Amino acid sequence: MTVPVGRPVLLVGEIIVDFTTAKKDIDCKLRLGGIVHAARGLWACDLPYSVAAVVPRYLVSQAKAYLQAHGCTEFIWLGEVVGAPNVIIIGDPTEVTDQGYEDILRNEKFVSVFDVHGTLSSYTEVLVFPGIFDLSILIDLFDEGVRISFDIAYDVDDFGKLQQFKGHLGAIIISTSSPLFLKYGANSVELLVDRIRQLDADILLLKENRGGSRLFDLRTGSVENIPATLSKTVNSVGVGDVYSAVMVGANKDSWVDAAWRGASAATIYSKTTFPDDFRRDTRRQLALSVDELRSLNGTIVPWHDRQRYSIYLAAPDFSYLHKPEVDLAISALEYHNFLVRRPVIENGELPPESNDTTLRKTYAADVRLLEECSIVFAIPLERDPGTLIEMGMAMAVGKPVVTFDPRRQNGNTMVIGGSISYSDDLDVSLNALFAAMSGLCREPR
């Protein structure tokens, strides 16, 4: 199936207020979220769209006016959120680790759905972002020829809920941060693909964060790897929604080409929270052909390949130290499914005044572990001598060293010059790690 030229895509889902808390050097950010992120993507690409929104009454007028000013051809109030303001507090907008979403009064929240029969029947291309509303209300709202795609984040706990849409499914879109992915696909992508193939969908798009994405054509069995283009992340909230919306909206005759367009728009969305800047830069990118986008390359690190390459943690990872930066980095690496080898944990934390034999035995074990690992992620807090020696040993044999120096205490020539990346920003260090591992993934096994 292809999208009729000029026919608007219908976005279905909740409109939410995103509130990003202030951090060092980062101001608070308050903006309309939920399906509004997807709407911005379509607007920036000049793709026609309409909205069927689940939204609290107090937000309806403001949301409608905002969307109409950003290209929305029709606004349908599908349901009212009652009992909660539909405000989400976001702890980490860059998704270095889990973003820490907090949905205010989520346990009190429910949806009162309106009777909109006949209003949506003319739409043939629909993209649904599931929320607290019951998906079963949708199936009777459209005509027989409708194609429905789903971007599944947090509010579907089983693929069985999509069974009622069998025969009408276009794209099933899921990210590695989704609990549904962790349930079905964390250990084997084949299990995930097989489960979705049973629904007779056209494609599965698996968004793998900084590691790119994979598009599985369930009709032909082909797989397209679409790389991520990594740069300084300003705000990752809604980036995946933009990807999904642009892909569905741009699909005239090729899901693959449309996915490349979606990935390109999503990359730009991560660099700014100002819509006009986003639209300007997106239009520049639209001047490139899909073949030209492919030639730009990027980072490809599939979720299921990340455990193949172990990462040596060079850091003062001792129980008696106050080391929040080390703990945060470990959390980030594990969140992204990297295999982190921690010598202090694996080989033991030596007590004070250990004898010479114990010291040499532990040293040898640490060196063996360092040799086994593919990359070193170094956090040299307080000019820790052990960390610096481990870094030097890795550099001497050409092993990639990514140095995260949050306290900026080790910015000397040898550390900076010998590291493939040196930064006090964990976001930058993560990007460097993904880039280094992408190179390893491309090497013949």
Alpha carbon separation from 12 to 174, 252, 312 (Å, rounded) = 16, 20, 44
Mean pLDDT of 248-260: 94
Residue 271, domain member (yes or no): yes
> What's the CA gap between 346 and 348, in Å, rounded?
6
Q: 65 by DSSP, 3-state: which? A: helix
How would residue 321 be classed by pLDDT, with cut points 50, 70 and 90? confident
Contacts of residue 99, defined as CB under 8 A and 6 or more positions apart, other chains included, come to 90, 91, 92, 93, 236, 237
Verify that 219 and 74 share a domain, yes or no: yes
Domain boundary among 249, 274, 295: 295
- Predicted pLDDT of residue 153: 84
pLDDT in tens, 126-149: 999 999 898 999 988 999 999 999
Residue 3, domain member (yes or no): no
Verify that 316 and 209 share a domain, yes or no: no
Element of type H or E holding 336: none
Residue 144, domain member (yes or no): yes
Verify that 269 and 414 share a domain, yes or no: no
Q: Tell me, what CATH number does 390's domain have?
A: 3.40.50.450
Contacts of residue 378, defined as CB under 8 A and 6 or more positions apart, other chains included, come to 314, 315, 387, 390, 391, 401, 402, 403, 404, 419
Q: Is the confidence at residue 347, as pLDDT, over 50?
A: yes
| Signed CA dihedral, 145, 150, 156, 158: sign only | positive
Residue 28, domain member (yes or no): yes
Verify that 166 and 21 share a domain, yes or no: yes
Residue 426, domain member (yes or no): yes
For the chain, state the CA radius of gyration.
24
What crossing angle do the helices spanning 255-269 and 35-44 adopt, rounded to 10°? 110
Domain boundary among 251, 275, 295: 295
How would residue 444 be classed by pLDDT, with cut points 50, 70 and 90? low
Verify that 33 and 172 share a domain, yes or no: yes
Verify that 150 and 98 share a domain, yes or no: yes
- Predicted pLDDT of residue 22: 66
Q: Is the confidence at residue 377, as pLDDT, over 90?
A: yes
> What's the CA gap between 127 and 247, in Å, rounded?
10
Verify that 286 and 312 share a domain, yes or no: no
Q: Which domain holds residue 246?
A: 9-295
Q: Tell me, what CATH number does 178's domain have?
A: 3.40.1190.20
The count of structural domains within the chain is 2
Residue 389, domain member (yes or no): yes
Could you give the dihedral angle defined by the CA atoms of residues 436, 440, 443 and 445, in that order, rounded to the nearest 10 degrees?
A: 180
Domain boundary among 260, 295, 330: 295
pLDDT in tens, 53-68: 999 999 999 999 999 9
Q: Is the confidence at residue 363, as pLDDT, over 60?
A: yes
Residue 46, domain member (yes or no): yes
> What's the CA gap between 269 and 280, in Å, rounded?
11
- Predicted pLDDT of residue 443: 72
Residue 336: count of CB within 10 angstroms of its CB: 23
Verify that 258 and 334 share a domain, yes or no: no
Instruction: Tell me how long the chain is.
Output: 445
Residue 337, domain member (yes or no): yes
Verify that 347 and 269 share a domain, yes or no: no
Alpha carbon separation from 416 to 106, 225, 371, 422, 427 (Å, rounded) = 46, 33, 22, 6, 17
> What's the CA gap between 335 and 351, in Å, rounded?
31
pLDDT, the chain, mean? 92
> What's the CA gap between 251 and 248, in Å, rounded?
5
Ramachandran region, residue 392 (left: φ > 0; alpha: ψ -120 to 50; beta: rest): alpha
Verify that 272 and 401 share a domain, yes or no: no
> What's the CA gap between 106 and 93, in Å, rounded?
20
Verify that 349 and 230 share a domain, yes or no: no
Verify that 318 and 412 share a domain, yes or no: yes
Q: Which long-range contacts (CB under 8 A, 24 or more apart) does 31-34 make?
A: 31/273, 32/59, 32/62, 32/63, 32/66, 33/88, 33/237, 33/238, 34/86, 34/129, 34/131
**Residue 378: what are its φ and ψ, rounded to 5°?**
-105, 140
Contact 204, 216 (CB under 8 A): yes
